[in-house]
Amino acid sequence: MSDPNAHVLEMRDVAVHFGGRGGLFGASGQVVKAVNGVDLTIGRGETVALVGESGCGKSTLSNTIVGLQAPVSGSIRVGGEEVVGADRRKLNDIRRHVQMIFQDPALSLDPRSTIGATVGEPLKVRGVAKGAALKQRVGELLTQVGLRAEHADRYPHQFSGGQRQRVVIARALALEPGLVICDEPVSALDVSVRAQILNLLVALQKRTGVSYLFVSHDLSVVRHICDRVVVMYLGRFVEIADRATFFDNPKHPYTRALMSAVPQADPVVQRGKERYVLSGELPSPANIPSGCAFHTRCPLATEICSQVRPELTPRDDGARVACHHA
């Protein structure tokens, strides 16, 4: 923490809210608290998974880190530089260090641009390379992700989903960023190519030292690739732990519910497994329950849970958990 260069990302007490302001005709909506005071630090070469169900604020948080969404409070430092409050030019500089890989490769490539133009765009608009040098660099990037330099003249529709995701990865790595946010990078792909893409991400990390913030709700993928896991529920982190600790000894009741939802390949194990089924729906982020946000669905909930919000507290094995009872 003392050396800012040791971390590619440092978030302090970040909150992102939507709505609430009165519109033109005085219609003031409810405030949706999508992200509510989160702290997260990602070191160089580290892969951190961010898991949680739909609507818990994962995507909002990733958009906030890259500066596409402004937080209402808190501090986000990418590569040691503050994103919050940065002007357009500054923000543009910072974005060199953080790039994004999107869920659906069919939508994240411009259908009217050749993939060479797409991969080369960050280099071109930032004046890093042009002409023959640009062409060569694009060729290198394509080779790096397992495509061929000749593919540069083709259009996205001429590639399969897995190949398109490789193109997206090449574009994200063009500027040699310190952090790449992977927003469900394999959930839109066929199971047969998921492993290829995950292995590619791991190989590229070894070669370039890039860090990943891996947004996912697929725990089997998370187990395969991540060093550390962060569980998010209704805009707050409820558990942060190293991979081994997390999978061997999940503590927060929400985490345990997520785990028990993952089917086991072995039917004997699957039948004998402790079932941990949650009741009810995810509450609306516009109307977050008092105290511990999870108490409405938690099997362990008691009186205190609806009154006092538990803070993230360290446990013996290094995990940090926000729960009164676990």
Partner 1 sequence: MSPSIRASGWSVEEMPVNGRIQAFRRRTARLPVSVMIFSTILALIVILAILAPYIAPFDPNKQALLARLKPPGFAYRGDTFWLGTDDLGRDLLTRTLYGAGVSLGVAVLSVVVSSLVGVSLGMLAGWFRGWTETIIMRIVDIVMSIPAILLAVLTVAVLGPGFLKLVLVLGLTRWPRYTRVAYAQTLQVANLPFIKASELSGAGAARILFHHILPNIAGPILVVATAEFGLMILMESGLSFLGLGIQPPSASWGSIMSIGRQYIERAWWIVLVPGACLFLLVFSVNVLGDWLRDQLDPRSRSR
CB 109 to partner 1: min, Å: 6
- Which is it for the CA torsion 157, 191, 54, 35, positive or negative? negative
For partner 1, give the closer residue by CB, 11 or 94: 94
CB 95 to partner 1: min, Å: 6
For partner 1, give the closer residue by CB, 48 or 66: 66
- Cα separation of 2 and 245, whole Å? 26
Q: How far is CA 1 from the centre of its chain?
A: 22
CB 67 to partner 1: min, Å: 9
CB 171 to partner 1: min, Å: 7
For partner 1, give the closer residue by CB, 30 or 158: 158
CB 222 to partner 1: min, Å: 22
Identify the CA nearest to 237 among candidates 322, 324, 323.
322
Looking at residue 22, the DSSP 8-state letter turns out to be: B
Contacts 24+ apart (CB under 8 A), 242-251: 242/318, 242/319, 245/317, 245/318, 245/319, 246/319, 247/223, 249/317, 249/319, 251/315, 251/319, 251/321, 251/323, 251/326
User: Could you give the 3-state DSSP secondary structure of residue 192?
Assistant: helix
For partner 1, give the closer residue by CB, 102 or 254: 102
CB 161 to partner 1: min, Å: 14
- Cα separation of 1 and 292, whole Å? 29
Helix, strand counts (H, E) of the chain: 10, 12
Report the interface residues with partner 1, using CB under 8 A: 66, 68, 92, 95-96, 98-100, 102-104, 107-113, 118, 121-122, 125-126, 155, 157-158, 168, 171, 174-175
For partner 1, give the closer residue by CB, 84 or 168: 168
For partner 1, give the closer residue by CB, 99 or 211: 99
